[in-house]
Every structure is written in structure tokens, then in C-alpha cells.
A and B are shown apart, each in its own frame.
Chain A
Amino acid sequence: MMRRGARWLAAHDRVRAWGLLAPGTLWLLAFFVLPVAIMGAYSAMERGLYGGVEPGFSLASYARFFDPLYLRILGRTLWLAALTTLLCVVIGYPVAYAIAGAGRWKHALLFLVVLPFWTSFLVRTYAIMFLLRDSGLVNSALLALGLIDEPLTLLYTPGAVLAGLVYGYLPFMVLPVYASLEKLDPALLEAAESLGARPVAGFLRVTLPLSLPGLVAGSLLVFIPSLGAFLTPDLLGGARQVMIGNLVQQQFGAGRDWPFGSAASFILMALVLAVVYVFLHRGAGALPEEVE
């Protein structure tokens, strides 16, 4: 029976393909496409008195977003996400490079990179608060060393948000960059050296361009969730470092303005799509190089 079923499936490629795709497709339809469609509809409706929406059509929520207050939040969000990505590249690339060349320590080091995932992000973010608050470890140490006379304001600053975001998303940069460096054939670098390339030239001409796909993937994996972050700015940034994620959360919560929350979400989504398009376009355009 089993074998006959297996043979029938093997002979019916389409049935098999749909069978494999169905669970994921249904899941995404129910929990992604449908909610997004609902949000899209909400964003163009009127606000209900106690949350929810009233029927009708209005683009007022979108128009409202162009208030300087919200544009500043958008600007801050973009700036923090870009800076987070840049710092993750600067910190993460050397780490990935070192791990890829670490021989038998590779697996142990990769394990360390993903180790933070074993505890909840919330707990880890609280731990950073303990580190950065006025009576926290950093200030205590600096005071004890006599380097400062009174505690520095570390928490609830853009720097604190940035530190939290970089910390949280660094593994998403390290892992794809590592994957692309790991695939690199060591003979390519030897070929470059035997053709007269010093190590720096070998890195710039061979290693870096060939790890670009990993770098692009890592940058997307860091930049996109940074754009939508709300936990980190909420806990480490406080009321003055609001990002778009916090704005959306407020509108659906205390603000009770579901259409505006939905509109802000859609604007965020449009931004993400634009960034992905530009990244993939330019990332793909970088290879292969052509001569004139």
C-alpha cells in the first residue's frame, strides 16, 4: 500500500509539489495575507471612538503621517536602522571572517554567536538596562575608577537604543556573512597571491566581492527588523526615542487610533519594500563584473 502510494506520488509531480506547498501557503494566507489585507482596509477607514474602525473611506490617516512630528519619528527610525546596519557590518564582518578561518574551533564559535537566542530578547534587553542605568555597572565602574564624578546618562538615549539594536541583530549579520565566506574556495586567494596580489588586494578583489551576497543578506536581515523594532527603543530609549514601531504600538493600544496605526504600518512596509528592492538590485548588479 505504502509503496503504491509513493509510486503514484512520484508519478504526479504537480500533486506532490502542491502537497508540499499547501501547509505553508495556507499558514501564510491565514496569518499574513489576510491580516495585512484587513490592515490595509482599516488604514483607509475612520477611527472608532473606543478603538476599532467605523465604516467609510478616508485617506486622512495617511495625510496625518506627514505631520513634522511623525516625519521626525520616521527620520529617526531610518537613521537608527541604517546606523545599526552599518555597525553590524563593521563589527560582524570581522567576526564572521575570523570564524570562517578558525578551523576546528569554527563550530564552537558559531555556537557562541547563536547562544544569546537561548534566552528571551526581553530578558536580555532588561539586562542591558541594568548595565546602562545611572546606578548600573558601567557608571559604577567609571565612578570607582575616578574617571567621572557623577553618573553619565546612558539609558534613554539614542546611543542606548543603538547599542541594544546592534546587540540584538548582530548574529543576523554574522551568520550569512560567515556562510558566504565559508563557501569561498581557498585556492582563489592563493591564485590571487600567485598572480601578485598582496593580502589587502586579495581581500578587496576576491574575498570581499565574493562575500557580497552574504553581506547583502545580512544587511537586510538587520535593517528590516531594525526599522520595525519597538521593544528595544521602548525599554532603552524611553519616551524620547520613539521609533515607528512604538508609534504603531501606541496607536493600536493607548492611542486607540487603528486607522492611523494601520497607515503607519503600511508606510513602514512600503519603505521596507523599497529598501529590499534597492539592496537586491544593487547587490545583484555588483556581479559579475564586465570589461569594457
Chain B
Amino acid sequence: MSQGATLTPAVRFTRVCKRFGETVAVDGVSFDVAGGEFFSILGPSGCGKTTTLRMLAGFERPDAGEILLHGERIDELPPWERPLAMVFQSYALFPHLSVARNVAFGLERRKLPRAEIDARVRSALELVRLDPGVFGRRSPRQLSGGQRQRVALARALVLEPPVLLLDEPLGALDRKLRKEMQAELRALNRELGTTFVYVTHDQEEALAMSDRVAVMAEARIEQVGTPAEVYERPRTAFVAGFLGDANVFEADSGRTVVVRPERMRLLRPGSAVPDGLSSRQGEIRDLVYLGDREHAIVGVGPVDFRVALRDPDRFEGETWRRGDAVVVAWRPDDAHPLEGA
């Protein structure tokens, strides 16, 4: 267990369970988050990711299992005694307090001297790139969604928590702003060395920001790994499908495998299939234009394959049309066997 302070995980869940009445919300969930890590819990709505985060924050009590923070059990502690801070999905800014008083709230509870509170509030607002002179006295009602988000972040970060919890904090922002905030959150995580536990249902967001991702489905963790691991080598059909387009089918070996569309290519029938590639014959049923790429839906027997069309195909003058007979080819080591399928 204890292997020195550096190896103690910032957060550890051990077989944590939570049920609400008849519904099992979280079923035997275990994972470790390393200090300073950006850790995401990714899953569809109702998978138990928010309940997991709420148990870490202390708003829900686990029915079984243990939650450790830097090696200390915290699942018995009330929220106000846990050294954590949280950014809420709805921001949960206090509407009756000015921006500065919102940010000062946690410091005031700690009964710090006024001068220190004011100084820390100012630097927290500057950290999230809000001018304290301009925004400090405003009411949260006068702010845009993105600015509210920043205030919520400042209110949590001003406490200098070792672990910051974020519950779908970017859900309400438009796409462009979301991308900007993603980059800023990532930078804050690196600069401050704070451990981030981030809950989201957006797989693109999780892949772009995280050091590691835990994919949850139906109250259980399906897989934990780096973004590349969970995307390239999904362990289950659910993970494969949730993280992006996936071709799940039975390989010649008899095992169920997954191949990503961009790991497949199309060839004309009769053309030589390069050495060592696996292939299937099929017919293009549809072409799907996706802006930055295009997918061909290829009917191979009863199943449809999704194949990403590459730019080089176009440079080579290849034009694919609906109804074309084609060969779908892929490298066998891009076909990853799935568990329990």
C-alpha cells in the first residue's frame, strides 16, 4: 500500500458502490488518480459519472467501498471538511453576491484576514483572465456564460485545492468558446500542478484534455487509459462505439474485433491487396460528408463498414461513388480483439 508519498495517488476509489432505491448508480468502481493528473470520467448520461464525482465531493455517501484522498479516507467526511473544490455544471454562482464576494466566499469561511482575502481574490480573477477592477463588483447576472464559467473556476481555484472537481463545466458554452476553455483548463492544470477530476459526456473533450480517461457505462468503469489507449485499443464494444466511429465485426480468427474507420482503406476490386493486409469485398452504400473528412459506408454482407476516405485518394484521382464494388483492407494489427463480446 504505502510506497512513499510520491506514489500515493491523489485520489483512490476502491470498490465504491452507490444505489438510489432500486437503481444501482455506481457499481464497484475502482480507480486511482495520480497527483497533478488531468483525469476524466467519460460516459453517457445516467452512467454514474456524476454520482462518482459527487461522492468524491461529499454530496453523496457511498454504500460500500472506500474513497481516499492522498492516502486518507475521506468518505466519512462532510463536504466542508474535504480539501477539494468543485466547479459545477450550472456554475452555481451566488446570485446575491458580487463576483469578488463569490470568489471570496471560501476564504471568508476560513476566516482569513481581509487584506489577504482581497489579494487572493484579485490574483484568482487574474488567473482566469478576468480584470478584477472591471468584474469584481459586478453581479453574476451581468456576465456572459463564458465569464460565469471563469468566475466559478476562480472561486474554486482561489482555495488552492490539491484536487479540483469539474462537473461538465463547459457543457453550456458554444463550440468555439469550449475549445478555448479546454486549452485554458489544460494549461491551468499544468501550471498549478492541481489534480483535475473532470466529468464529461463529450468524448472529443475528454480525449483532447486528459492525461487519462475512465470510460463508464451502466454504473461500471469499462476501461481506464490514456486517450490514445482507450481510442486505439478499446476493450469493449461500448468503449469502441462511445469514443468514435468503430467497425465491430467477427474476424477470420473467430474473435470479435474493432477497427477504426481511419485504419481502413478502400481498393478497387481486382487491384492487388498489399501484402499482409486483411480484406473483405463489399459495395459502397453511401458517402457521408463530415467537413474535415468523408466516410464511405460499405456494405459487406449483412454488416456496414465505415471507411474514412483519405485525401491521398483524391490526389490519386480516385473518386468513389455510391454502388461501386470495392475491397475494404486493413492491417491485422489495427484490428483489436474485444473482451466479452
Cβ < 8 Å to B, chain A residues 187-204: 187-188, 190-198, 201
Contact bitstring A163-196, B, C-beta under 8 A = 1, else 0: 0000000000000000000000101101111111
Chain B nearest CB, measured from A65 CB (Å): 42
Please indicate the chain B residues that have their CB under 8 angstroms from the CB of A192 in the complex: 94, 105
Q: Tell me, in angstroms, the Cα distance from A190 to B88 when the chains sit together.
A: 9
Contact B92 A190 (CB under 8 A): yes
Please indicate the chain B residues that have their CB under 8 angstroms from the CB of A191 in the complex: 86, 88, 92-94, 155
Contact A291 B79 (CB under 8 A): no
A278 CB–B CB distance under 8 Å? no
A109 CB–B CB distance under 8 Å? no
Contact bitstring B142-156, A, C-beta under 8 A = 1, else 0: 000000000000011
Please indicate the chain A residues that have their CB under 8 angstroms from the CB of B98 in the complex: 288-291
Contact B101 A188 (CB under 8 A): no
Please indicate the chain B residues that have their CB under 8 angstroms from the CB of A131 in the complex: none
Please indicate the chain A residues that have their CB under 8 angstroms from the CB of B95 in the complex: 210, 288
B57 CB–A CB distance under 8 Å? yes
Please indicate the chain A residues that have their CB under 8 angstroms from the CB of B85 in the complex: 194-195
Cβ < 8 Å to A, chain B residues 56-97: 57-59, 78-80, 82, 84-86, 88-90, 92-97
Contact B137 A290 (CB under 8 A): yes
Please indicate the chain A residues that have their CB under 8 angstroms from the CB of B59 in the complex: 190, 193-194
Please indicate the chain A residues that have their CB under 8 angstroms from the CB of B93 in the complex: 191
Contact A187 B92 (CB under 8 A): yes
Whether A195 contacts B137 in the complex (CB less than 8 A), given A210-B96, A289-B97, comes out as: no
A113 CB–B CB distance under 8 Å? no
Contact B110 A289 (CB under 8 A): no
B335 CB–A CB distance under 8 Å? no
Residue in A187, A201, A290 whose CB lies within 8 Å of B109? A201
Contact B92 A197 (CB under 8 A): no
Q: Tell me, in angstroms, the Cα distance from A191 to B152 when the chains sit together.
A: 10
Whether A193 contacts B79 in the complex (CB less than 8 A), given A210-B96, A291-B100, A291-B136, comes out as: yes
Please indicate the chain A residues that have their CB under 8 angstroms from the CB of B80 in the complex: 193-198
Chain B nearest CB, measured from A214 CB (Å): 13
Number of inter-chain CB pairs below 8 Å: 81
Q: Tell me, in angstroms, the Cα distance from A198 to B86 when the chains sit together.
A: 16
B225 CB–A CB distance under 8 Å? no
B139 CB–A CB distance under 8 Å? yes
Contact B79 A194 (CB under 8 A): yes
Please indicate the chain A residues that have their CB under 8 angstroms from the CB of B96 in the complex: 209-210, 287-289
Chain B nearest CB, measured from A284 CB (Å): 12
Contact bitstring A275-292, B, C-beta under 8 A = 1, else 0: 000000000000111110
Chain B nearest CB, measured from A35 CB (Å): 41
Contact B94 A206 (CB under 8 A): yes
B47 CB–A CB distance under 8 Å? no
B209 CB–A CB distance under 8 Å? no
Whether A194 contacts B58 in the complex (CB less than 8 A), given A187-B92, A288-B95, A291-B136, comes out as: yes
Residue in A195, A205, A289 whose CB lies within 8 Å of B155? A195
B159 CB–A CB distance under 8 Å? yes
Q: Tell me, in angstroms, the Cα distance from A209 to B84 when the chains sit together.
A: 26
Q: Tell me, in angstroms, the Cα distance from A191 to B90 when the chains sit together.
A: 11
B106 CB–A CB distance under 8 Å? yes
Contact B94 A188 (CB under 8 A): yes
Chain B nearest CB, measured from A233 CB (Å): 38
Please indicate the chain B residues that have their CB under 8 angstroms from the CB of A291 in the complex: 98, 100-101, 104, 136-137
Contact B78 A193 (CB under 8 A): yes
Q: Tell me, in angstroms, the Cα distance from A193 to B59 when the chains sit together.
A: 9
Q: Tell me, in angstroms, the Cα distance from A287 to B58 when the chains sit together.
A: 30
Residue of A nearest to B86 (CB): A194
Q: Tell me, in angstroms, the Cα distance from A268 to B310 when the chains sit together.
A: 85
Q: Tell me, in angstroms, the Cα distance from A191 to B86 when the chains sit together.
A: 7
Q: Tell me, in angstroms, the Cα distance from A194 to B94 when the chains sit together.
A: 13
Please indicate the chain B residues that have their CB under 8 angstroms from the CB of A209 in the complex: 96
Q: Tell me, in angstroms, the Cα distance from A221 to B281 when the chains sit together.
A: 80
Chain B nearest CB, measured from A141 CB (Å): 44
Instruction: Give 8 nearest A-B pairs by CB, closest first.
Output: A195-B106, A191-B92, A196-B109, A187-B92, A193-B79, A291-B100, A194-B86, A288-B139
Other than A190-B88, A191-B88, give 11 A-B pairs with Cβ distance below 8 A: A185-B92, A191-B92, A194-B79, A194-B84, A196-B159, A289-B97, A290-B101, A290-B137, A291-B98, A291-B136, A291-B137
20 sampled A-B residue pairs with Cβ under 8 A = A185-B90, A187-B92, A188-B94, A190-B79, A190-B92, A191-B94, A194-B57, A194-B86, A194-B165, A196-B106, A197-B80, A198-B80, A206-B94, A288-B96, A288-B97, A289-B96, A289-B97, A291-B98, A291-B136, A291-B137
